[in-house]
Chain A
Amino acid sequence: MTSEKKRKIQGEPPAEKPVRLRAFHQAKWDEEIIFELSTKGERGILMPAVEPAIEEEIGDGISAIPENLRRKAQPALPEISQMRVLKHYLRLSQQNLGADLNVDIGQGTCTIKYNPKINDVLAASPKVAELHPLQSESTIQGALEILYKTDLFLREISGLDRFSFQPASGSAAILAMASIIQAFHESRSEGKVRDEVITTIFSHPSDAAAAAVKGYKVITIHQTEDGLPDIEALRRSISKRTAGLLITNPEDTGIFNPKIDEITRLVRDAGGLCGYDQANANGILGMTRAREAGFDMCFFNLHKTFGTPHGCGGPACGALGVGANLVDYLPVPLVDFDGEKYHLRFDLRHTIGKIRSFYGVFPVVLKAFAWISSLGERGLREAANIAVLNNNYILEKVKRIRGASAPFARGRHRIEQVRYSWEELTRDTGVTTEDITLRMADFGFHLWSSHHPFIVPEPFTIEPTESYSKAELDEYLAALEKVAGEAYADPSLVKGAPYRSVVHRIDHSWFDDPAQWAITWRAYQKKHVQPNPAGSQPRR
């Protein structure tokens, strides 16, 4: 009897297939810069001709424009036939490793999970794509219903009382929270006195930066040995000048802060407002909420936790929620329901006005609505639970990789991600996190380091979410282990990577040199291409 049969008879789980590390090579088209594809006279698309009757009645249209405002020479755009444009961008797309093709767990803090295709199909409907935001309310009832109901969903998930979808990213939502903090204190004539916002070093850089945009002095609390913010330092930093707190929990370390309610109480007792950055909410859906933790406000990234695609960096939505005391400060408009019809509501007494044009990125809200509708209460909890299971599984395995470690909170479990360190590996081999991230590309994987500053030496951050199967997690881990092994066996191999990605090591010397950096093709031509007497442009 084979051992496999024996297991089945004894009711044990079947043996796992050995992990296969694939012989990956990314597409490499050696594709031209688009201007190099230009052939004079080619056309990519034609617009409809103006009707002769209009030509006759109006003329060329341009004569009505004052001479000094007419464009004298056509813009030097490339001239390319349609199929060639398509091919160019398809080739570029093949040189891009989207999450759909990847086991995209190496971009910690960003919750790269499955983006259901059906949601894209729904958002592509002309009922969405061809909807204008200024249409009469009677013609946008469906869109308003989606906004209203998603608000109701997020109230349940956060325990807060009202949501706005206007902020078009997490950072924009942080800006909105800082704006509300400012407007709140100004309305109580304390705007000038309260000029400090507190955040923590393991909260997103925008928690500090967006507060500074509003003119706040930013106080950043560092962690203690357990990886959590130093609560004594926080206590000392609170004063009559405290306007508010902007904090992530779990922070980017994936450690849940059990004293989060103590922190919010300290700030609130001192008269400050507390804003919860819930970009890292994927592991706590249905488990713990902004309400219980004592927050006045929170936001969720719909493009992270709620399964909407990241689009290479937006469009996105930072859904902003507040308690009843702050509804009047939200950006306008909100969506109300009178039992029959949905309405836009603009009359908020203390509104901060607008954070973005119109109502935010509606297709993203629609996709999040569909995602929540598909999962329901049980599915949301399951997503969180499995995200946490996956993360602790990865943690257990990474800790066994030579040279890798998980600083802080030793022996404890983490929520949805972990900030790891290659410190030991770097010390032993000279191979850095950057080297390893580039070598991972040779196996078809992305690995990110971490936000700056690097508090954890040689950091990397893994967030597996609920989307990837165990077999995929094992494949990723096998690649990570393989690369770590290579670092010990042959550091120069890793330091020379990548070999099988799209391009080889990039020379960074131009990027910080004003004389050499080239942010556009024309700037490159001016700075780096010698004038050619024959008039033809040299290729590279």
Chain B
Amino acid sequence: MSDEQPFIHPYIPNSVPEVKERMLQEIGVRSIDELYADIPERLRFAGRMNLPEPLVSEAALKRHVEKILSRNRSCAESLSFLGGGCWPHYVPAVCDEINRRSEFLTAYAGEPYEDHGRFQSLFEYESMMAELLDMDVVNVPTFDWCQAASTSIRMAGRITKRYEALVCDTIGPDRLQVMQNYCRGMMSIVPVRHDAVTGLMDLNDLAARFTESTAAVYFENPSYLGFLETQGHQIAAIAHARGGLSVVGVDPISLGVIAPPSHYGADIICGDVQPLGVHMNFGGGQGGFIATRDEEKFVMEYPSRLFGIAKTAVEGEWGFGDVAYDRTSFGVREKGKEFVGTAAALWGITAGVYLALMGPQGMEDIGRHILQKSQYAMKKIGGIAGVRTPRFQSAHFKEFVVDFTSTGKTVAEINEALLDRGIFGGKDLNGDFPELANHALYCVTEVHTKEDIDTLVGALEEVLR
């Protein structure tokens, strides 16, 4: 294609020379270049961007990109037991149908009039999450669990006017890193030890570290390592007795069978909506939620949008809008609470669709299903000679640590051999936790059949023979 020919790309209508000409006339200039008069020569980029020739035909573009993508081997083509912050769950077709609708997919920041649907669906998301969490306030989603936990801790710092957070040392490495960067210079993140046998928080260590500077204690249910923290009440009691808050991260898909943290004293709850109807997307499906009681001192510390319901000029008509907008950085820039902007709204809408489909019985069913499947997997994997699981002697949900120390093989070697058999083994914990050098984190959900688990066990036996 020569530069003399007009370049009329399907995405750019006004490249048509006659149209362009007419618009230039209307503006009163001879060329588009005149419109750039404010950019001085010294700031002009004189060269050419070294980009590949354009794939102007959609067919050629599709072929090109699909060829690259063909070098991926996805979990749909394999048997995967990976979790660790991004989990395989069944995604109902209606979830995809809704989040692929142009009206939602391509919308952004319309007013609560022409974008009434966005406001209502996110209000309903907040409302259904509130039922699941048994809390009265839930935000429009932030980026992911990492961000939700980081913001929860900063909220706790502002509410208590203290600058330190105690964090369970079984937290996942990504989450800890995000938290540390987000709090750096403003709040310190202090680890609390876990019991070597059960994995549960060491309450003596917690009590010893809890000082007058401690804003909150943060733990997770299930933990990153899959076990359930059963001492929620005691942890909250220690925090509350000393003027601090209890902040709990939770996997929402467990809450049909597991008590929500609000039932054991949590003041702020956070977590990720990805399990609720969002594909894994190579880690792109995450969306963070934060929930609290409906108390002004909590609500006013959210940085997020909070969509509330309202009346309109017409009797019986619902409207929606921003609650307490002036606490946000949109309202008052650096004087607002942290910052707000684009995050993961579409995944919030999707999670709402998921909860509406599942209903109370569906959430109980899936929770029970995951318990049964993961317990079966633990039992069978634990039955392999030299393999120990669960590594922590506690109740688990969905994920569990497998100890391969006595097998004489490293997790890397085992996973390599499993891969040859079409299986993605659990996440190698080597490097993440010093005591878990030759351990792996396995994830089993409702997407796994008994046959899948038996296949894994058979392959492991073969590999470890």
Given the complex, which residues of B lie within 8 Å of A139, measured CB to CB?
72-74, 78, 419, 424
Given the complex, which residues of A lie within 8 Å of B367, measured CB to CB?
71
Interface: A297 (CB within 8 A):
no
A99 touches B108 (CB 8 A): yes
Binds B, one of A120-128, A320-328, A423-431, A478-486: A120-128
Interface: A413 (CB within 8 A):
yes
Q: How far is the CA of A10 from the CA of B99 in the complex (A)?
A: 52
**How many chain A residues touch the partner (CB < 8 A)?**
221
- Chain A 277-313: CB-based contact to B (< 8 A → 1; otherwise 0): 0000000101111001100000001010001011111
- CB-CB under 8 A for A13 and B21, given A44-B357, A125-B66, A315-B287: yes
Query: Quick one: which of B19, B72, B106, B308 contacts A100, CB cutoff 8 A?
Result: B106
Query: Quick one: which of A42, A112, A169, A521 contacts B359, CB cutoff 8 A?
Result: A42
**How many chain B residues touch the partner (CB < 8 A)?**
221
B342 touches A171 (CB 8 A): yes
Q: How far is the CA of A468 from the CA of B12 in the complex (A)?
A: 7
- Chain B 27-47: CB-based contact to A (< 8 A → 1; otherwise 0): 111001011111110111100
Interface: A388 (CB within 8 A):
yes
Binds B, one of A28-36, A229-237, A267-275: A28-36
Interface: B98 (CB within 8 A):
yes
Interface: B306 (CB within 8 A):
yes
Interface: A366 (CB within 8 A):
yes
- CB-CB under 8 A for A286 and B49, given A139-B419, A517-B308: yes
Given the complex, which residues of A lie within 8 Å of B113, measured CB to CB?
438, 441, 498, 501-503, 506
Given the complex, which residues of A lie within 8 Å of B313, measured CB to CB?
504-505, 507
Query: Quick one: which of B14, B85, B145 contacts A469, CB cutoff 8 A?
Result: B14
Q: How far is the CA of A293 from the CA of B256 in the complex (A)?
A: 55
- Chain A 433-454: CB-based contact to B (< 8 A → 1; otherwise 0): 0000110010011101001110
Q: How far is the CA of A213 from the CA of B319 in the complex (A)?
A: 33
A55 to chain B, nearest CB (A): 7
B49 to chain A, nearest CB (A): 4
Query: Quick one: which of B34, B56, B136, B366 contacts A519, CB cutoff 8 A?
Result: B136
B282 touches A209 (CB 8 A): no
- Chain A 453-496: CB-based contact to B (< 8 A → 1; otherwise 0): 10000000000001111100000000000000000000000000
Given the complex, which residues of B lie within 8 Å of A126, measured CB to CB?
74, 76-77
Interface: B321 (CB within 8 A):
yes
Given the complex, which residues of A lie within 8 Å of B203, measured CB to CB?
none
Q: How far is the CA of A112 from the CA of B331 in the complex (A)?
A: 22
B357 touches A380 (CB 8 A): no
Interface: B214 (CB within 8 A):
no
Binds A, one of B174-182, B204-212, B237-245, B401-409: B174-182
A107 to chain B, nearest CB (A): 6
Given the complex, which residues of A lie within 8 Å of B22, measured CB to CB?
13, 16, 470
Given the complex, which residues of A lie within 8 Å of B96, measured CB to CB?
124
Closest to A369 in B: B65
Closest to B134 in A: A75
B171 to chain A, nearest CB (A): 12
Closest to A169 in B: B342
B359 touches A129 (CB 8 A): no
- Chain B 217-233: CB-based contact to A (< 8 A → 1; otherwise 0): 00001000000101011
Given the complex, which residues of A lie within 8 Å of B332, measured CB to CB?
452
**Most chain B beta-carbon neighbours within 10 Å: one of A113, A159, A215, A392:** A392
Closest to A112 in B: B108
- CB-CB under 8 A for A107 and B287, given A452-B331, A519-B323: no
B39 touches A288 (CB 8 A): yes
Interface: A531 (CB within 8 A):
no
A390 touches B14 (CB 8 A): yes
A451 touches B174 (CB 8 A): no
Interface: B284 (CB within 8 A):
yes
B108 touches A374 (CB 8 A): no
Interface: A337 (CB within 8 A):
no
Given the complex, which residues of A lie within 8 Å of B122, measured CB to CB?
312
Interface: B343 (CB within 8 A):
yes
Query: Quick one: which of A34, A358, A506 contacts B124, CB cutoff 8 A?
Result: A34
Query: Quick one: which of B62, B88, B342 contacts A316, CB cutoff 8 A?
Result: B342
Closest to A381 in B: B49
B residues 137-182 touching A (CB-CB < 8 Å): 137-138, 140-141, 143-147, 154, 174-175, 177-178, 180-182
Interface: A266 (CB within 8 A):
no
Q: How far is the CA of A21 from the CA of B256 in the complex (A)?
A: 52
B308 touches A132 (CB 8 A): no
Given the complex, which residues of A lie within 8 Å of B54, measured CB to CB?
373-379
Interface: A177 (CB within 8 A):
no
A375 touches B319 (CB 8 A): no
Interface: B289 (CB within 8 A):
no
B14 touches A386 (CB 8 A): yes
- CB-CB under 8 A for A258 and B395, given A396-B26, A519-B307: no
Query: Quick one: which of A71, A80, A316 contacts B255, CB cutoff 8 A?
Result: A71
Closest to B90 in A: A47
- CB-CB under 8 A for A519 and B106, given A215-B186, A393-B26, A511-B310: no
Q: How far is the CA of A78 from the CA of B427 in the complex (A)?
A: 36
A312 touches B51 (CB 8 A): no
Interface: A359 (CB within 8 A):
yes
B309 touches A524 (CB 8 A): yes
**Most chain B beta-carbon neighbours within 10 Å: one of A13, A191, A395:** A13
Closest to A375 in B: B54
- CB-CB under 8 A for A132 and B120, given A287-B36, A517-B324: no
- CB-CB under 8 A for A314 and B343, given A95-B120, A354-B178, A388-B32: yes
Interface: B94 (CB within 8 A):
yes
Given the complex, which residues of A lie within 8 Å of B114, measured CB to CB?
26, 96-97, 102, 441, 444-446, 498, 501-502
B residues 1-25 touching A (CB-CB < 8 Å): 1, 3, 7, 9, 11-15, 18-24
Interface: B413 (CB within 8 A):
no
A95 touches B117 (CB 8 A): yes
Interface: A210 (CB within 8 A):
yes
Q: How far is the CA of A312 from the CA of B118 in the complex (A)?
A: 7
- CB-CB under 8 A for A514 and B185, given A96-B117, A256-B39, A502-B114: no
- CB-CB under 8 A for A96 and B103, given A47-B365, A89-B121, A540-B316: yes
Interface: A412 (CB within 8 A):
yes
Q: How far is the CA of A467 from the CA of B279 in the complex (A)?
A: 30
B419 touches A520 (CB 8 A): no
Q: How far is the CA of A208 from the CA of B329 in the complex (A)?
A: 9
Q: How far is the CA of A100 from the CA of B113 in the complex (A)?
A: 17
Q: How far is the CA of A65 from the CA of B398 in the complex (A)?
A: 13
A residues 74-106 touching B (CB-CB < 8 Å): 74-80, 82, 85-86, 88-102, 104
Given the complex, which residues of B lie within 8 Å of A307, measured CB to CB?
11
B372 touches A50 (CB 8 A): yes
- CB-CB under 8 A for A354 and B174, given A44-B357, A132-B88: yes
Closest to A393 in B: B23
**Most chain B beta-carbon neighbours within 10 Å: one of A85, A370, A504, A520:** A520
B175 touches A507 (CB 8 A): no
Given the complex, which residues of A lie within 8 Å of B255, measured CB to CB?
71, 75
- CB-CB under 8 A for A357 and B174, given A53-B450, A307-B11, A504-B317: yes
Q: How far is the CA of A289 from the CA of B181 in the complex (A)?
A: 29
A71 touches B260 (CB 8 A): yes
B257 touches A66 (CB 8 A): no
A58 touches B314 (CB 8 A): no
A503 touches B317 (CB 8 A): yes
Contact sample, A vs B, 27 pairs, CB 8 Å cutoff: A34-B128, A47-B369, A54-B372, A71-B255, A71-B260, A96-B118, A98-B105, A99-B108, A122-B62, A135-B424, A172-B143, A205-B336, A209-B338, A261-B43, A288-B43, A311-B107, A312-B107, A313-B342, A314-B346, A370-B61, A376-B53, A388-B32, A392-B35, A413-B29, A446-B115, A498-B114, A510-B311
Apart from A61-B369, A205-B329, A503-B314: 14 A-B pairs, beta carbons within 8 A: A35-B127, A60-B368, A68-B230, A132-B74, A288-B39, A288-B45, A301-B342, A303-B342, A312-B118, A363-B281, A389-B35, A413-B35, A504-B319, A519-B306
